[in-house]
Structure 1
Amino acid sequence: MIVDDQQATVAFLYNPAAYGESGPVEAIETHISRIFLVGQRAYKIKRAVKLPYVDFSTPALRLAACEKEVELNSRTAPGLYLGVRRVTREAGGELAFDGSGELVDAAIEMVRFDQSKLLDRMAVGGELTPALMTDVARMIVRYHRGAPEVHKGSGSSNLAGVLAINEAGFATSHVFEQAEIKAFTGIFRTALARHCELLDRRETAGKIRRCHGDLHLRNICLFDGEPRLFDCIEFNDQIASIDVLYDLAFLLMDLWHRGFPELANL
């Protein structure tokens, strides 16, 4: 659900003069964000939406989410995230970065990197090598080992919560029919029941941690020659507070889907 009008912000960010640039501004859109590419920088805003799993319905909520995104991702992609810029409405009605007027939006400022260095693009180009994926695996291990443990219920109840969010998300889309959603949900819950005991043991052993939450190939890039995780789930701690193997499963699923089972196994 769209909850407020961001047209003024979008127009402002499409104007290269807003950044002190003269070159063109390119835009990338997802279901919950917009990214504006200009010069050597990228600026990301949260779409003004309210969904079962995310609430960006006010400027204050979007600012808080931007600040949290920078904080979390700076740990796994040092140097990529530069900070948060407040978008304000000044006395004459014009918008500005970090002015003294009313807050109308917030943008994350990032270093613009070569899109061909996204691992999903590298997969399409046949550039994923065993050596690179070994480096990626070691980086993920270091990240998971340093991530804080979360003990807020059993391992099976944790994953049940994720399935409930997924079901609610499916219900807001037009991709699947209601009968398909019901079938998916039934399959998921049957599998969950089969693995409850193992999931509970893993929670007791500290395997549920504050993870990335969206660890597919497009959210890993080569930056300064090193693989970096970015664009983690910052807007919903429940989605990202998961078993470390569930976090890793995003990457394995993506590799299998793209025809690289041997790299997934590696």
Structure 2
Amino acid sequence: MDTPADADPAADGAPAVVETHSALIILYGDEAHKVRKRIDLGFLDNTTVGARAEQSRREVELNSRLAPDVYGGVLEVRGPDGDVIDHVVRMRRLPSRRSLEALVRSRAAGTSRADDPDLVAGVKEVGRQLDHLHAASPRSEEVAAMGAPDAVAGLWRESIGQLRRLSVGEDAPEIVDDVEWLAGEYLRGRERLLRARVGAGRVVDGHGDLLAADIYLEDDGPRVIDCLEFDDRLRFGDAVLDAGFLAMDLDRLGARDLAEAFLEAYRDFSGDDAPSSLVHHYIGYRALVRSKVTAIRADQSGSAGAQARDALKLADRAVDALLRARVRLVLVGGVSGSGKSTLAAPLAVALKAELLRSDDLRSDVPADQGGGRYSEEAIAAVYTRMLDMAGDMLAMGRSVVLDATWLDPRRRAEAETVAADAHAELVEVACTAPRGELVRRIEQRRRAGSDPSEATVAVLGRQLAGLAPWPDAIEVDTTELDPRSADAVRVWAERNLGPLPWA
């Protein structure tokens, strides 16, 4: 119910009024009464008694799915002549200090109390309840349609258009432009992913507005209230779109650990192994929606102050999430012994990407009588197979790290085509080391016999003799960056590739 973030926990029970962009909530004693504003926001029109009555009834009906003991029904307000002039939702008042937002802020401020609930356990239970809501969601063509590529693109267009017409969008059009381009580029390459999500039944009738301020961690479990009731179309969508709202909000509050715990719990309960890119894409959409709602409040109050600044921060968060959602095709190459395989593995972890190694695929390619598995024909077969597999993964929203030499410019051109077809970002990394170190590593690897690479010092000599320039690559000297350190690789990746996925 959007309880003020600075609400005094000691004031629970005292009379108060909370204002949102579309309603007023009157708090008195142990009850709360919600009165809708008589406004038309474009996406929400409550200017008539009938519209407010319908939205009030829908609010009670839909929120009873997750909080049946909170919603007490709809009251009629009658005028002097006995006619119904308005409707009020009657609710049980929830303790403001037990809202998830208030608890997170208390933790950050160091003012948590001994009897405060366990936040990690609380958000995990919310993940379980959300999974149950989604599992019980009726499946229909109408619901499924909202997860289709055109519908998802339409949601972005609608919110971007609305934000552009608000003062925040007018003041910072470049941020909105970034959101529009990044979201569009992701969707242009992910039609197969979105259609697969629809086919797998991952499009649901969810909550639609899952904010930390509307989750209360009571002693007997969470109460999740205030779902989106005014437009079914905005409540229908991918399950990850629903979960992404709370993940975004917790991250906004500085509680990324809780966002990760919530998403992990939801994944475990639901079995939904959505790619990280899709999670971040929908986190970005939710940040944009929240930016729009905050901008509306700023315009309603005629203020260019805190709310306008918050709207801009949320729009920036949308950009940040969309940067983390980028699907990447990463070529990690270099001559034998350059450390490319040692770097590729932790880099794939940092990017939450799939890892394909040419050495692993080469073992499935039969050797010919001429050049063995390193003949031109055998090498071409390995690269073709590797790029075919990568193309399928990119289409499904999964970044891919390809560990191979990438010494031939023709192979790199083929990879560039695969990335372009999938609207994925191509990243090229060339590993290097002094020749003496290269030889030492190859000989050490051969003695150990634990690596699938069949490269020899003779193979290295041929590679070095025919080495072609790689002007588009980020060069990494693996004697300076320790590729065995996951932390060092992640820091390097953040510095060179920008925001990395965390969800």
Q: 2:62 aligns with which of 72, 81, 85?
A: 72
Shift of 1:180: 3.6
2:92 is aligned to: 111
Secondary structure (helix, strand or coil) at the match of 1:206 reads coil
Q: How many residues align?
A: 235
What is aligned with 1:262? 257
- The answer to whether residue 191 in structure 2 is matched with residue 196 in structure 1 is yes
After superposing the two structures, state which structure 1 stretch, 236-245 or 158-167, moved more: 158-167
Could you tell me whether the CA contact under 8 Å between 2:38 and 2:48 is conserved in 1? yes
- Corresponding residue of 2:154: 161
Show the counterpart of 1:213. Answer: 208
Partner of residue 45, structure 1: 35
Q: Which residue of 63, 67, 83 corresponds with 1:102?
A: 83
- With 78-87 and 253-262 compared, the bigger mean Cα shift is at 253-262
Displacement of 1:86? 1.2
Pair 158,228 (structure 1): closer, same or farther in 2 beyond 3 Å: farther
- Cα RMSD (Å) of the superposition? 1.9
Query: Structure 1 stretches of 5 or more lacking a match?
Result: 1-22, 92-100
User: Superposition pairs for residues 73-88 of structure 1, below 5 Å?
Assistant: 73-88=63-78
Greater C-alpha Rg: 2
Deviations 1:74-103 (A, max 9, x none): 110011000001111123xxxxxxxxx222
Cα 1:254–1:57 shift into 2, 3 Å: same
Give the deviation of 1:153 after TM superposition.
6.1
Matched, 1:139 2:134: no
CA contact (8 A) 2:146 2:236 kept: no
What does 1:151-190 align with in structure 2 at a 5 Å threshold? 151-152=144-145, 155-177=148-170, 178-190=173-185
Q: Does 1:123 align with 2:118?
A: no
Correspondence for 2:364? none
Cα offset for 1:106? 1.0
**Structure 1 SS opposite 2:190:** helix
Partner Cα separation in structure 1 for residue 241 and residue 50 of structure 2: 31
Deviates more, 1:248-257 or 1:161-170: 161-170
Letter in 1 for 2:90: E
Q: 1:53–1:169: 8 Å Cα contact kept in structure 2? A: no
Structure 1 residues 242, 77: CA separation in 2 closer, same or farther (over 3 Å shift)?
same
Q: Which structure 2 segments of 5+ residues have no match? A: 1-12, 108-115, 262-503
Q: Per the alignment, do residues 175 and 124 of structure 1 end up closer, same or farther by CA in structure 2, a change over 3 Å counting?
A: same
Query: Partners in 2 of 1:256 and 1:119 — Cα distance?
Result: 13
Q: CA deviation at 1:140?
A: 1.3
Q: Tell me, yes or no, if the aligned pair for 2:146 and 2:233 is still in contact at 8 Å.
A: no
Match of 1:13 in 2: none
For 1:254, what is the secondary structure of its paired residue? helix
Q: Is the 1:158–1:242 Cα contact (8 Å) retained in structure 2?
A: no
Q: Which amino acid in the other structure matches residue 105 of structure 2?
A: V
Q: Secondary structure at the match of 1:123?
A: helix
TM normalised by structure 1 equals 0.82
The higher relative CO (CA closer than 8 Å, separation ≥ 6) is in 1
Partner amino acid, structure 1, of 2:21: H
Which secondary structure state, in structure 2, belongs to the residue aligned with residue 231 of structure 1? Answer: coil
Following TM superposition, by how much is the alpha carbon of 1:129 offset from its aligned partner in structure 2, in angstroms?
2.6
Deviation of the 1:119 alpha carbon: 0.5
2:203 maps to 1:222 = no
Q: How many angstroms does 1:221 deviate by?
A: 1.2
Identity of aligned pairs, percent?
A: 30
Equivalent residues of 2:169, 2:176 under 8 A apart = yes
Q: After superposition, what is the alpha-carbon deviation per residue over 1:44-64, rounded to whole angstroms, capped at 9, x for unaligned?
A: 011111122111110110000
Q: Is the contact between residue 52 and residue 168 of structure 1 (CA under 8 Å) also seen in structure 2?
A: no
